[in-house]
Amino acid sequence: MLFHVRMDVTLPPDLDPARRDELVAAERVRAQQLQRAGKWRHLWRIAGHYSNISVFDVESVDELHDILWQLPLFPYMSITVTALARHPSDIG
Asked whether residue 34 carries a pLDDT value surpassing 90, the answer given is: yes
* Alpha carbon distance 92, 73 (integer Å): 33
Does residue 90 belong to any structural domain of this protein?
A: no
pLDDT for the residue 54? 98
Does residue 43 belong to any structural domain of this protein?
A: yes
For the residues 14-42, what does the mean pLDDT come to? 98
Does residue 56 belong to any structural domain of this protein?
A: yes
As a dihedral over the C-alpha atoms of residue 69, residue 56, residue 77, residue 62, rounded to 10 degrees, the angle is -30
- Residue 23 is part of which domain span? 2-84
What confidence tens digit (pLDDT) does each residue in 35-88 have? 999 999 999 999 999 999 999 999 999 999 999 999 999 999 999 999 999 999
CATH number at residue 30: 3.30.70.1060
Does residue 60 belong to any structural domain of this protein?
A: yes
Structural domain total, the chain: 1
pLDDT for the residue 92? 81
